[in-house]
Structure 1
């Protein structure tokens, strides 16, 4: 009797250990975007497909709205494998993949169609090895849209910002833009920008239109100028530490779950357009540059382009001509 119970116990222990070994692998998927936004909807769709493709062997738990830290912090956690999948901005990734800053060179891009063509048809294989070298498996591009300028007064010409203290994003292309415009760029994290506007530390800055509206910046700096002087992309990546632990079938379950990024782009751009229209309907002051004004901005900023490219480091000097070639190939 004791032998029978011993054998049954051993069999039960073996069964439990086998079921534990076959339990679903749970991946941490992080983003700074809040629920209900196109970015969260996009990664949730990917997470659902990962589960389906792997027959439930892999699941992805979403951490939204920066629950796992600021974007730069999450980038570092992904390198270390503490976050498995991350969707983040060009600004954040450029802190470790400096060549990403080249995508934000002021007045580089002419249209969304040109940007999409360049990234999808030409630049993905250029950036994939750069990300891998820093500990990321590049999955696909992300999208934030055009970056515009805002201020407590209208910014319509370089003379309007000459000597004015303005918030610069923690990225070389943002500092370079304000330097060309003659402004006094003060590098600040996004979270510190509202208080800096309130105290008068800065008089304006640059942001995507939807971020400007969503954060209520219009109450602090009511003039938004649609400068579209640079484009803010981003990427969806996976920690190489996590990626290398997966089997080939598991890796395929993830790459085959990637939802086409064009849908995300269209949602983000449509959302920005709608939010901008709502801002104007509620009395927001939006300014459009004339072609002459835009040329004046470009004339002020373009002489510093070579300096910017040289300052970025990494393989920027080799990557920059490839970006220009991609732009030329995608001129529509």
Structure 2
């Protein structure tokens, strides 16, 4: 999510008191997103529907704002079964499902319509078994939106970032992007980025618009370029250890409780547009790349693509052609 992440994480207790065969099973949900955000609203609707579907036998407690740990920590806990339902970002999940990093290849997608079509109509069956191999039951995609570029000065061409120290996310696609642009990337966790900007350790980076504005990055690096050079999805998963303990009826209660993805996508994208507009109105600097500038960025980065795909590991070489096929099938 990078605000990372963002979305749901959850812990499920399956203990039923003696003599209470129909006692409710209590699920504890958690998310790194604050209350009132689209991701928390999404989870709250899911919790309500799950309770209704199960006739009240599945209940839940919501933990928000990262109370159960950072996203990478929650991913590991979910694999081990200590967290049972988790929604997190592409970056976090790629630590255990490396092939997911392919979805962050720079300049892979042309527009949101293409992203939505590919993810929903073609790529769910591609990635579901990869999650399961790692002990995670894939439930649903989620959304963080386009990732943009920001800096202490305008970044409008590769020349503007050549040899500049910039923050890269702890993901190969982020380092790959900056390598192509000619910058000197410094891999940092999101939480360390503000202090790195304050000390001059880095002079910029890349983030989804929502994360950039919500974390106050604009106060430290007030130049935001809407590069949309990669899309950051997220996913909602359940620990396979938990999933296998549930009855078929309980499993159905959960899958039928999933809120339509278009709702959270629309909410996140609308919020991002609103936040960028507010940032600009308050004095922030926002730049749109011209078609010529965007082509210059692509020409700088695309020669690095084959090396990125090779470096990701796992079954990336097998999965990559399927992603390209999905993109072509969804071309508008």
Report the TM-score range of the alignment, normalised by the length of the smaller protein: over 0.9
Give the structure 1 partner of residue 152 of structure 2: 152
Q: How does 1:1-332 map to 2 (within 5 A)?
A: 17-19=18-20, 21-332=21-332
> Secondary structure, in 3 states, of the residue corresponding to 2:19?
helix
- The CA deviation at 1:18 is 1.6
Supply the distance in 2 between the matched residues of 1:220 and 1:17 (Cα, whole angstroms): 57
> Secondary structure, in 3 states, of the residue corresponding to 1:202?
coil
> Secondary structure, in 3 states, of the residue corresponding to 1:321?
helix
What residue ranges of structure 2 are gaps of 5+ in the alignment?
1-16
Instruction: Give the stretch that moved more between structures: 54-63 or 197-206.
Output: 54-63
Q: Deviations over 1:159-192 (max 9, x none)?
A: 1000100000010000000000000010001010
Supply the distance in 2 between the matched residues of 1:98 and 1:287 (Cα, whole angstroms): 32
Q: Is the 8 A contact 1:197 1:204 kept in 2?
A: yes
Supply the distance in 1 between the matched residues of 2:109 and 2:28 (Cα, whole angstroms): 34
Supply the distance in 1 between the matched residues of 2:229 and 2:220 (Cα, whole angstroms): 22
- The CA deviation at 1:248 is 0.5
Runs of 4+ in 1 over 4 A off after TM superposition: none
Q: Is the 8 A contact 1:142 1:261 kept in 2?
A: yes
Supply the distance in 2 between the matched residues of 1:53 and 1:210 (Cα, whole angstroms): 33
> Secondary structure, in 3 states, of the residue corresponding to 2:121?
helix
Supply the distance in 1 between the matched residues of 2:139 and 2:242 (Cα, whole angstroms): 13
Q: Is the 8 A contact 1:30 1:83 kept in 2?
A: no
Supply the distance in 1 between the matched residues of 2:127 and 2:29 (Cα, whole angstroms): 21
TM-score between the two structures when normalised by the length of structure 2 = 0.94
Supply the distance in 1 between the matched residues of 2:60 and 2:129 (Cα, whole angstroms): 25
> Secondary structure, in 3 states, of the residue corresponding to 2:273?
helix
Supply the distance in 2 between the matched residues of 1:63 and 1:130 (Cα, whole angstroms): 28
Supply the distance in 2 between the matched residues of 1:145 and 1:285 (Cα, whole angstroms): 20
More helix by share: 1
Supply the distance in 1 between the matched residues of 2:315 and 2:66 (Cα, whole angstroms): 30
Q: Is the 8 A contact 1:149 1:155 kept in 2?
A: yes
Report how many residues are paired: 316
What residue ranges of structure 1 are gaps of 5+ in the alignment?
1-15
Supply the distance in 2 between the matched residues of 1:182 and 1:28 (Cα, whole angstroms): 45
> Secondary structure, in 3 states, of the residue corresponding to 1:205?
strand
Supply the distance in 2 between the matched residues of 1:206 and 1:325 (Cα, whole angstroms): 27
- The CA deviation at 1:60 is 2.1
- The CA deviation at 1:101 is 0.3
Supply the distance in 1 between the matched residues of 2:196 and 2:107 (Cα, whole angstroms): 27
Supply the distance in 1 between the matched residues of 2:28 and 2:170 (Cα, whole angstroms): 26
- The CA deviation at 1:28 is 2.4
